[in-house]
Amino acid sequence: APWRPVLLLLRPGAPPVGGRQPAFSTSCVRCSKNKRLRQKRAISERKLTRYFVDHRKVRVVGGRGGGGGHSFYSEPRKIFGGPDGGNGGDGGHVILKADRQMKSLSSVLPFYQGFHGEKGGSKNCYGANGAYVYVKVPVGTLVKEDGKVVADLTQHGEEYVAAYGGAGGKGNRFFLSNENRAPTSFTPGEPGQERVLHLELKTTAHAGLVGFPNAGKSSLLRAISRAKPAVAAYPFTTLNPHVGIVHYQDYEQVAVADIPGLIKGAHQNRGLGMAFLRHIERCRFLLYVVDLSVSQPWIQLQDLKYELEQYKKGLSERPCVVIGNKIDLPPSRINLPLLKEQIDDRVIALSALTGDNLEELFLHLRELYDTYVKTEQSRGQSPVKW
């Protein structure tokens, strides 16, 4: 057959041929949205509430150990062969394992129990141990018992034994001695450990978007990543934290978390309160999103830092950058020079809606990430990778 050219059609959002990541788009947000976000199914915030769970009360019980065996060896012409009952198997543990693929505690059930050990058999056969039960939890899960922190799973693959299985019972072979040549006693298996644990998820991200409601945090996260948080013209549109991934040409990935909007008195549990303030604790650097269209936007920054400092001392002193959003509006161009005069932090003016000046945010975000990586490596610790 003669050679025929083949026209290769790629759907919008498909990865490029050759496996190379394209350069991040900074010129047109509308084109990047149509190209990258169309392939992801949109989930409303109301439906997402059912999927995203950051609190879970779990009752865990280890498996019961198998009972010891009770038998005597017997064969033709050897009636009194002695005891040969084997020991029972140990019960299985319940283990919590951090997995980066898990993003919520919604899949965690309220009760887990390890598998029981098998009973010891004759001919000195030991019972099989019960299998372990692994419970996958997101990275950044805090395990508490009676209000005390017992485990902090911050690394992928990190494990914590939530409930130990019971020890297996002893067979009558175990009690053989010179004084007792035909023991008939054996012990049952011990019950597994039983605990009630409280799992608390703290989002582990490199950067955290902090701002008041309707400051444009969700729109900004949509513009720089593939995340699709709900966007509307009313406050408290975002009810759950969202994490978006910013991709760079050298295959580095920076995780940016959209924290629900804070209000004055959030450290006193007003509004969404401390339910989502704890997600900011794990962020390595902060991105303060300020609405430039309102009068005196620097007051927003002062109130945000005050709430963070009241919640946890030193939280507002982390590396940060101030993002002046909605630069496309006329009042914003008047307030921008006033904001730069009032604060000492670096200010990046942009528009999440039109995509103006997103390049500066991408570059500075990478600078903050590289500084974080070098700091962790100098301390001998491994930085968090996505």
Q: Which of 57-71, 93-107, 157-171, 221-235 has the lowest mean pLDDT?
A: 221-235
pLDDT confidence of residue 97: 95
Q: Mark whether 178 and 82 lie in a shared domain.
A: yes
Q: Mark whether 140 and 239 lie in a shared domain.
A: no
Q: Give the pLDDT band (50/70/90) at residue 116.
A: very high
Q: pLDDT tens digit string along 331-385?
A: 888 888 888 888 888 889 988 888 888 888 899 999 999 999 999 899 888 777 7
Q: Mark whether 323 and 235 lie in a shared domain.
A: yes
Q: Is residue 32 part of a domain?
A: no
pLDDT confidence of residue 230: 56
Q: pLDDT tens digit string along 199-217?
A: 988 777 788 888 888 778 8
pLDDT confidence of residue 205: 79
Amino acid at 52: F
Tokens of 243: 């994490």
Q: How many domains does the chain have?
A: 2
Q: What does the mean pLDDT of the chain come to?
A: 79
Q: Count Cα neighbours of 284 within 13 Å in the Cβ-side half-sphere.
A: 21
pLDDT confidence of residue 274: 53
Question: Which of 134-138, 183-187, 239-243, 281-285 is most confident?
Answer: 134-138
Q: Mark whether 197 and 211 lie in a shared domain.
A: no
Tokens of 232: 């509307």
Whether the pLDDT of residue 115 is over 90: the answer is yes
Q: Mark whether 170 and 211 lie in a shared domain.
A: no
pLDDT confidence of residue 36: 42
Whether the pLDDT of residue 143 is over 80: the answer is yes
Helix (H, G, I), strand (E, B) or coil at 258: strand
> Beta-carbon neighbour count of residue 316 at 10 Å?
20
pLDDT confidence of residue 48: 47
Q: Is residue 7 part of a domain?
A: no
Q: Mark whether 234 and 349 lie in a shared domain.
A: yes
Q: Mark whether 158 and 254 lie in a shared domain.
A: no
> Beta-carbon neighbour count of residue 25 at 10 Å?
17
pLDDT confidence of residue 10: 44
Whether the pLDDT of residue 9 is over 50: the answer is no
Q: Is residue 4 part of a domain?
A: no
Higher-confidence position of 14 and 222: 222
Cα–Cα dist 58/64, whole Å: 19
Q: Is residue 375 part of a domain?
A: yes
In terms of residue numbers, what domain contains 104?
51-202
Q: Mark whether 234 and 168 lie in a shared domain.
A: no
Q: Mark whether 196 and 214 lie in a shared domain.
A: no
Q: Is residue 365 part of a domain?
A: yes
Q: Give the pLDDT band (50/70/90) at residue 92.
A: very high
Whether the pLDDT of residue 50 is over 70: the answer is no
Whether the pLDDT of residue 21 is over 50: the answer is no
Return the DSSP state at 235: S
Q: Is residue 300 part of a domain?
A: yes
Q: Mark whether 185 and 211 lie in a shared domain.
A: no
Q: Mark whether 198 and 172 lie in a shared domain.
A: yes
Q: Mark whether 211 and 138 lie in a shared domain.
A: no
Q: Is residue 385 part of a domain?
A: no
Question: Last residue of some domain: 176, 202, 228?
Answer: 202
CB 89 within 8 A of CB 167: no
Q: Is residue 27 part of a domain?
A: no
Question: Last residue of some domain: 141, 175, 202?
Answer: 202
Listed as own residue / partner, the contacts of 267-270 with beta carbons closer than 8 Å and 24 or more positions apart are 267/307, 267/310, 267/311
Q: Give the pLDDT band (50/70/90) at residue 23.
A: very low
- SS3 assignment for 137-197: EECCEEEEECCEEEEEECCCCCEEEEECCCCCCCCHHHHCCCCCCCCCCCCCCCCCCEEEE
* CA-closest candidate to residue 105, choices 135, 73, 61: 135
* CA-closest candidate to residue 21, choices 275, 235, 226, 296: 226
Question: Last residue of some domain: 169, 202, 235?
Answer: 202
- CATH code of the domain in which 123 resides: 2.70.210.12
* CA-closest candidate to residue 98, choices 51, 57, 155: 155
- CATH code of the domain in which 351 resides: 3.40.50.300
